[in-house]
C-alpha cells in the first residue's frame, strides 16, 4: 500500500512511522510536506506525533489549517484511511475530522510512560489484528492528551462505538489511576463514524518490533496498510498476532526479527503485497 507520512515543522515521530511502514512492513512509504496540496495518490495518510508549530495556540491547531489538510479532509471524506498519532490525533480533533478536544494533562505535566490500553472494538482495519478486550502496552508522550467533549457528545460517541482504545490497568479494568492524563471516560483513541479515520494518543510506531521488547503496536500499523489480509478474516489475523510475547531482545539487529509475535505479522504482511 502507498503510504504518506505528513511532515509538519516540529514533527518528530515521522521517521519512526516511516521506518515501520517501509522497513518492517515493507510498504511503499513516502514523506509528504505540510505545504503540499496533493497526497500523491497515497492510500494511507499518517499524521505523526511531534510538536507541530511548537504547539502554538493549541496543540495541533495550526497544523489543522495547513495547506495539505484540505487534501487530507477530502481523502477522509472519500473513505480513505487516515491515522493520527499523538499530535496527529490532536490535529484531527482541531480539523473536526474526529469529535472532541484535548486539554492539558490532569497533572499539568508532560507524561512519557508506558500505559495499558484495552481494545474496545476489532472490526476496524486498524484494530482487526487484536482481540476485543485485549490489553496492549504502548508508550504515551504528551502534555495535552486529556480528552474531553460534552456529556451528550460522549454518550453519542459510546453509542456509535467510536471509542476504539481506553486507558486501563494491566488487568484490563478502567481505573482512575490508569487514566494518567485524566481523559473523559478513559478514552485513548477514537474513530469517525465510518471507521476509516483513527486518532490515538499512544504511539504504536514506538512498539512495533520484537527487538524493542514490545511489538504490541505493529498490528495496528499492519492493519492500517493491509487489514484484513485478502481472504483472511479477523480470526486468521488474530492467529498471526497471538502467541507468546517476545522476550526483550539482548542486542540490536538491523534485520527485522521474523521469529517473534510482531515479526510473524510483519512477515505475513510484507509477503502479501497487493
Partner 1 sequence: MARNENGYLVRVLVYPRAEVLDPQGRAIEDALGRIGFDGVERVRAGKSFEVSLKAASRAEASEAIDRMCRQLLANPIVEDCSVEWLSE
Q: Which residues bind partner 1 (CB under 8 A)?
A: 57-58, 61, 65, 94, 100-101, 103-106, 108, 148-150, 153
Name the DSSP class of 22.
I
Going by C-alpha positions, the residue among 6, 94, 80 that lies closest to residue 43 is: 80
The residue whose grid cell reads 484540505 is 70
Characterize the bridge pairing of strands 2-7 and 44-47.
parallel
CB 170 within 8 A of CB 149: no
Q: How far is the CB of 269 from partner 1 (least distance, A)?
A: 37
Q: What 3-state class would DSSP assign to 197?
A: strand
Name the strands in the sheet holding 163-168, side by side, starting at the edge strand that comes first in the sequence.
28-33, 2-7, 44-47, 81-85, 197-200, 187-191, 163-168, 111-119, 135-142
CB 238 within 8 A of CB 129: yes
State how far the Cα of 220 lies from the Cα of 32, in Å rounded to an integer.
21
Task: Let me know if 28 is a catalytic residue.
Answer: no
Which of the following is catalytic: 144, 203, 207, 209?
203
Q: What 3-state class would DSSP assign to 143?
A: coil
Which of the following is catalytic: 86, 128, 191, 207?
86
Q: How far is the CB of 25 from partner 1 (least distance, A)?
A: 34
Bond before 228 cis per omega within 30 degrees? yes
Select 108 or 247, whichever has its Cβ closest to partner 1. Answer: 108
Select 78 or 108, whichever has its Cβ closest to partner 1. Answer: 108
Q: How far is the CB of 57 from partner 1 (least distance, A)?
A: 7
Select 3 or 95, whichever has its Cβ closest to partner 1. Answer: 95
Q: How far is the CB of 104 from partner 1 (least distance, A)?
A: 5
Select 100 or 189, whichever has its Cβ closest to partner 1. Answer: 100
Helix axes 234-241, 261-270, angle to 10 degrees: 130
Q: How far is the CB of 58 from partner 1 (least distance, A)?
A: 6
State how far the Cα of 167 lies from the Cα of 176, in Å rounded to an integer.
9
Task: Let me know if 203 is a catalytic residue.
Answer: yes
Select 122 or 186, whichever has its Cβ closest to partner 1. Answer: 186
Task: Let me know if 26 is a catalytic residue.
Answer: no
Going by C-alpha positions, the residue among 209, 134, 206, 207 that lies closest to residue 164 is: 134
Active site residues per annotation: 86, 203, 205
Amino acid at each position: 500500500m502507498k503510504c504518506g507520512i505528513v511532515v509538519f515543522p516540529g514533527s518528530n515521530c515521522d521517521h519512526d512511522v516511516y521506518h515501520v511502514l517501509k522497513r518492517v512492513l515493507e510498504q511503499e512509504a513516502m514523506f509528504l510536506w505540510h505545504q503540499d496540496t496533493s497526497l500523491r495518490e497515497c492510500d494511507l495518510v499518517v499524521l505523526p506525533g511531534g510538536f507541530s508549530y511548537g504547539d502554538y495556540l493549541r496543540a495541533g491547531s495550526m497544523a489543522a489549517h495547513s495547506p495539505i489538510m484540505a487534501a487530507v479532509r477530502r481523502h477522509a471524506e472519500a473513505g480513505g484511511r487516515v491515522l493520527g498519532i499523538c499530535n496527529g490525533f490532536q490535529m484531527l480533533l482541531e480539523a473536526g475530522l474526529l469529535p472532541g478536544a484535548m486539554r492539558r494533562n490532569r497533572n499539568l505535566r508532560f507524561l512519557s510512560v508506558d500505559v495499558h490500553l484495552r481494545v474496545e472494538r476489532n472490526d476496524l482495519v486498524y484494530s482487526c489484528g487484536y482481540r476485543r478486550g485485549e490489553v496492549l502496552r504502548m508508550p504515551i508522550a504528551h502534555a495535552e492528551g486529556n480528552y474531553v467533549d460534552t456529556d451528550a457528545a460522549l454518550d453519542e460517541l459510546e453509542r456509535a462505538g467510536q471509542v476504539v482504545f481506553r486507558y486501563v490497568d494491566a488487568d484490563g479494568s478502567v481505573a482512575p489511576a490508569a487514566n494518567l492524563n485524566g481523559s473523559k471516560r478513559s478514552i485513548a483513541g477514537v474513530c469517525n463514524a465510518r471507521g476509516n479515520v483513527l486518532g490515538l494518543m499512544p504511539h504504536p510506531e514506538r512498539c512495533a518490533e520484537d527487538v524493542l521488547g514490545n511489538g504490541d503496536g505493529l498490528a495496528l500499523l499492519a492493519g492500517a496498510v493491509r487489514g484484513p489480509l485478502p481472504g483472511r478474516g479477523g480470526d486468521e489475523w488474530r492467529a498471526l498476532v497471538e502467541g507468546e510475547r517476545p522476550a526483550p531482545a539482548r542486542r540490536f539487529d538491523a534485520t527485522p526479527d521474523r521469529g517473534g509475535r510482531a515479526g510473524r505479522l510483519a512477515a505475513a504482511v510484507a509477503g502479501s503485497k497487493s
